[in-house]
Amino acid sequence: MDVTSLAARSLSGLLEQATGQQLVTGRRWRIETALQPVMRAHGITSLDQLAGMAFQPAAHDLRNEVVEALLNHETSFFRDLASFRLLGTEGLETMARRRTAQKRLRIWSAGCSTGQEAYSVALLLAARPDRWAGWTIEILGTDVSPAAIGQARDGLYSQFEVQRGLPIGELLARFDPEGEAWRIKPALRSRVMFSVHNLLDRPPEGVFDIILCRNVLLYFTAERRRAVFDRLTAAMAADGLLILGAGETILDQSEAFEPDPDLRGFYRRTGQA
């Protein structure tokens, strides 16, 4: 298949129109593969036919299916383990000292996909019950994909998904077997809220002490990345922490954040001592 064909460009354009995310060059080869389930479900035999049907005025549901299929849901528990180790020790301790009086933390996992990142944060906190006794801690996971958020709310993961990054001790202690899959126990699942949200829209209500926005900005244009950083700035406490993905940076993207000198890989609001 020619990924530069008009049909392929039109269908990938649906993704950008709906989410602001671009199908970057390295992912264009997978357009037809990603859309095969949609095509089979509707008896469609070619991308040209799919494009012709998807752009009919009444084909709202089909366009949504195309967008859902083209989204990248790649994630895992404790992805980029070094970042989670730093969050679980110095990052959370830093915010604990800053919130000692209030004993309240709000954490936002933005672009959380199917929820493993948000649940990983909950697992870090659950590992130290004495440290967080008496605290009110809110964890919010958001993603543009309704299907991904649906799975996150269910907390049901395949054997393959739990094997990716999740220590066996955590699996046995925090999950219940369900057929060939594993479901997060209600006590842990209740600690995380999930909702559908586009990062280009107004941020969720309230102010967050820690924001994780990892491996999402790669799919936005430079202009849209700046817009997302503006949204994150508005949502984060003045002394909060921002965590990006290993391959992401604020350089030439935002003047509102700067690297935290004490927490390698974390960012703080510019000018905060």
Q: What is the pLDDT of residue 166?
A: 96
Closest to 115 measured CA to CA, from 149, 83, 138: 149
In order along the chain (273 residues), what is the average pLDDT of each group of 10 residues?
71 93 71 92 94 94 95 93 93 96 98 98 97 97 97 98 95 97 97 97 96 94 93 96 90 88 89 73
**Partners of 181 in beta bridges:** 158, 178
Strand partners, 192: 139
- Dist. CA 163–CA 158, nearest whole Å: 9
- H/E stretch holding 188: helix 186-189
Give the pLDDT of residue 29: 65
Long-range contacts of 32-39 (CB under 8 A, 24+ apart): 32/1, 32/8, 34/69, 34/70, 35/11, 35/66, 35/69, 35/70, 37/69, 38/62, 38/65, 38/66, 38/69
As annotated, the residues of the chain forming the CATH 3.40.50.150 domain(s) are: 81-269
- How far is residue 269's CA from residue 233's CA, in Å, rounded to a whole number? 8
Q: What is the number of other CB atoms lying within 10 angstroms of the CB of residue 271?
A: 8
Angle between helices 31-41 and 47-54 (to 10 degrees): 70
| Predicted pLDDT of residue 1 | 42
**Closest C-alpha among 235, 74, 224, 227 to residue 140:** 235
Query: Which is the CATH superfamily of the domain at 81-269?
Result: Vaccinia Virus protein VP39 (3.40.50.150)
Strand ranges (E), 161-229: 175-178, 181-184, 192-196, 208-213
